[in-house]
Chains A and B, each alone.
Chain A
Amino acid sequence: MTSVDTPRIDSERTVRVTVNGVPREATVPVRRVLADALRDDLGLTGTHVGCAHGVCGSCTVLVDGDPVRSCLVLAVQVDGAEVTTVEGLAREDHQGGQVLHPVQEAFRECHALQCGFCTPGFLVTIAAGLEARDRSAEITEEEVDELVGGNLCRCTGYANIKKAVRHAAATMREDAS
Chain B
Amino acid sequence: MKPAPFRYADPRSLEEALDVLAADPGAKVLAGGQSLLPLLAMRLAAPATLVDVNRVPGLDTVEVTGDGVRVGALVRHARLLHDDTAAGVQPLLARATANVAHPAIRNRGTTVGSIAHADPSGEMTSVLALTGGSVTVATPEGRSTVGWQDLFVGPLETSIAGPAVVVDAFFPALPERSGTAFAEIARRKGDYAVCGAGVVVTLDADRRVSAVRASYISVGLVPEVHDLTEAVAGKPVDGADWAAAGALARTLVDPDTDIHASADYRRLLVGVLTERTLTDAAREAAERTAA
How would residues 31 to 46 of chain A score, 1 for a CB under 8 Å from any chain B CB and 0 otherwise? 1010010000000000
- Chain B interface: which of A16-24, A105-113, A145-153? A145-153
Do residues A73 and B108 form an inter-chain contact, with CB atoms below 8 A?
A: yes
Query: What are the residues of chain B within 8 A of A11 when measuring CB–CB?
Result: 5, 7-8
Chain A residues with CB under 8 Å of B1's CB are: 52
Is B19 positioned at the interface, with any CB of A under 8 Å from its CB?
Answer: yes
Report whether A66 and B107 are in contact in the complex, using a CB–CB cutoff of 8 Å.
yes
Tell me if B256 is interfacial: C-beta within 8 Å of chain A: no
Query: Is the CB of A129 closer than 8 A to any CB of chain B?
Result: yes
A68-B108, A71-B37 as given contacts; A5 in contact with B5, CB under 8 Å: no
Instruction: Tell me the residues in window 54-110 of chain A with beta carbons closer than 8 Å to chain B beta carbons.
Output: 54, 57, 60, 63, 66-69, 71-74, 76-77
Q: A9 touching B108 by the CB < 8 A rule?
A: no
Asked if A36 meets B2 with Cβ closer than 8 Å, knowing A8-B9, A72-B37, the reply is yes
Is residue B229 within 8 Å, beta carbon to beta carbon, of the partner chain? Answer: no
Which residue from B20, B78, B102 sits with its C-beta under 8 Å from A150?
B102
In the complex, per-residue mask of B240-266: 1 if CB is within 8 Å of any chain A CB, else 0: 000000000000000000000000000
| Bound form: Cα–Cα A37–B17 in Å | 26
- Closest Cβ neighbor of B11 among chain A residues: A7
Q: Is B205 located at the chain interface by the 8 A CB criterion?
A: no
Q: Which residues of A contact B6 (CB under 8 A)?
A: 30-31
- CB neighbours (8 Å) of A146 from chain B are 103, 189
Which residues of the other chain, B, contact A72 by a CB distance below 8 angstroms?
33-34, 37-38, 105, 108
Decide if A5 touches B15 in the complex (CB within 8 Å): yes
Asked if A5 and B19 make an inter-chain contact with CB atoms under 8 angstroms apart, the answer reads: yes
Interchain CB contact under 8 A, A31 and B105: no
CA–CA, A144 and B107, complex, Å: 18
A66-B107, A73-B108 given; A7·B19 CB < 8 A: yes
Residue of A nearest to B33 (CB): A72
Q: Are A7 and B10 in contact (CB under 8 A)?
A: yes
How many chain A residues touch B (CB < 8 A): the figure is: 36
Look across to chain A and name the residue whose beta carbon is closest to the beta carbon of B17. A7
Question: Is A10 on the interface with B (CB-CB < 8 A)?
Answer: yes
Minimum distance in angstroms from B119 CB to a CB of chain A: 14
CB pair A53–B8 under 8 Å, yes or no, is no
- Whether, in the assembled complex, A47 has its beta carbon less than 8 Å from a beta carbon of chain B, the answer is no
B188 cross-chain contacts in A, Cβ below 8 A? 149
Contacts of A76 in B (CB 8 A): 8, 10, 52
What are 7 A-B interface contacts by the 8 Å CB criterion?
Answer: A31-B8, A53-B41, A72-B108, A77-B33, A77-B52, A149-B190, A150-B101
Residues of A near any B CB (own CB < 8 A): 4-11, 13, 29-31, 33, 36, 52-54, 57, 60, 63, 66-69, 71-74, 76-77, 125, 129, 145-146, 149-150
Give B contacts to A, CB under 8 Å: 1-12, 15-17, 19-20, 30, 33-34, 37-38, 40-42, 49-50, 52, 54, 78, 101-105, 107-108, 188-190
Given A5-B15, A77-B33, A150-B105, 13 other A-B residues pairs in contact with their CB atoms under 8 A: A11-B7, A31-B5, A31-B40, A36-B2, A57-B102, A57-B104, A69-B105, A69-B108, A72-B37, A72-B105, A73-B108, A74-B8, A74-B37
